[in-house]
Structure 1
Amino acid sequence: MAFTALTEYAIELSGTSGRAPRVCLLATAMGDDRATLHHLTEAAEQRGFATSHLVLFPMPNVDDVTAHLLEHDVVWVFGGSVAGLLAMWRLHGVDDAMRTAWEAGVVLTGVSAGSICWHAGGTTDSFGPELRPVTDGLGLVPFSNGVHYDTEERRRPLFQRLIGDGTLPAGYATDDGVGVVYRGTGFVEAVGETDGAAAYFVEKVGDAVLETRLDTRRLP
């Protein structure tokens, strides 16, 4: 594993300077798999991050989750089961701790499940091989989120259908290698590390679903 331009931009957004960025890594959506955490930590250390974990299996590894998150510049969440992630976070109060960290200015980011979790919901294979909606995201921003938009062919039509029938609110979808940036609850821009990849805004307009391709700034 290696952290790439999207993570570098999250560090930039945190405003960290003059010291190693403090990054908290979470792999809750992978059941806190030790191999995953090992490789993430190795990649973070190679990049020069000051790294910690928040682990919930078999028990939380910190006494005060909120205080732990507030010590960091960036929280970075790995993919896997977004449904499992949300359930475990709520069981241990991580949902409230994330909101507190976000309101304090900690940059929250991640990939796949680690992107959907901040939104109202999205499409997921958490429940089995057939994609289904997840509608109980943390809702830090009032949009839905469609991930793997260009690499998993069933994602795009399902995301559009779920917005069309009201299961999900309007939202932002991303091709792999693209991220959307929010300040507070407002969309700021789409950024990418892959040529040709883009983000999209999907909304219901009348009886139709409209997908708008967004300008996506290529990160260096």
Structure 2
Amino acid sequence: MVADAPTILATSGGIVAGSRTRWEVGPLTRHAVDLAGVTGRAPRVCYVGTAGGDAAEGIRNFYDMAQLAGFAGSHLSLFTMPNVPDVREHLLSQDVIWVFGGSVAGLLATWELHGVGEAMREAWEAGVVLTGVSAGSICWHVGGTTDSFGPDLRPITNGLALLPYSNGVHYDSEEQRRPLFQSLVADGTLPPGYATDDGAGLLYRGTELVEALAENGSAGAYSVDRGPHGTALEIPLDVRRLR
């Protein structure tokens, strides 16, 4: 079973603190899985932790979450070598691919070495739902802002560009994010795009943004375009609250 159109849910959320496990699947990720339209079996969900260096703790946390949520979980690791015989085949066999946060620069460089970007594009076009948080949100876009290079944020401009927009994450929780994202759009370093507060997500069908979603009562989402005279124009989006 696959989604009825190429689908991406790019988020600054998707996980919540757990009661019996460290993390649990949040409403945004649950919605991404629902979009795959799986019936009669457990949805196949693949965790990709490249941005965190394929840390063992992240993989363990994912399997705990997946078991609790009723997912048929798997993971793709690239360090020190791929953990599956055929990366493309594994990704194309999933219902949902869930990309976690960390270094988006490291993620993109490592994916380039292993041909993961092309496999992700093929999976997306085939109807596998792509979702993720932070680096796992920016990667689907042209670029955004990143702390991959140090505590002072810098632009990243070599995203997979499945979506022809820029992407701002953690827009309300990290003080450098909003002003830098706006300035990069204003000066043309990044194309116009969309940003999410923590707990919000952006749902795309094909390359069209169809709605903004949130898993809490306060998170916002925004479009950011170039304004006149080297300025940026930020417009709040309507946000649907998931329960």
Q: Same fold (TM over 0.5)?
A: yes
**Deviation of 1:192 (Å):** 0.3
Q: 2:159 aligns with which of 104, 120, 137?
A: 137
Q: 1:182 aligns with which of 195, 204, 208?
A: 204
Equivalent residue number for residue 10 of structure 2: none
Aligned twin of 2:238:
215
Q: Which residue of 2 aligns with 1:27?
A: 49
Runs of 4+ in 1 over 2 A off after TM superposition: 205-208
1:123 is aligned, of 139, 145, 148, to 145
CA distance in 2, matches of 1:170, 1:97: 26
Q: Give the structure, 1 or 2, with the largest relative contact order (CA under 8 Å, sep 6 or more).
A: 2
One-letter code aligned to 2:233: L
Q: Deviations over 1:12-39 (max 9, x none)?
A: 1111111101000010001100011101
5 Å-filtered alignment, 1:28-43, equals: 28-43=50-65
Match of 1:151 among 163, 173, 177: 173
Residue 120 of structure 2 corresponds to which residue in structure 1?
Answer: 98
Q: How does 1:191-206 map to 2 (within 5 A)?
A: 191-206=213-228
- TM-score scaled by length of structure 1: 0.99
Q: CA RMSD in A?
A: 0.7
CA distance in structure 2 between the aligned counterparts of 1:71 and 1:199, rounded to whole angstroms: 32
CA distance in 2, matches of 1:165, 1:31: 32
Q: TM-score, normalised by structure 2?
A: 0.89
State the aligned residue count. Answer: 220
Report how far residue 70 of structure 1 moved: 1.1
Q: Secondary structure at the match of 1:7?
A: helix
Cα distance in 2 for partners of 1:190, 1:210 equals: 18
SS, match of residue 24 in structure 2: coil
Aligned to 1:7: 29
State the Cα deviation string for residues 158-212 of structure 1 (Å, max 9, x = none).
Answer: 0000000100000100000000000001110000011121100000033231000
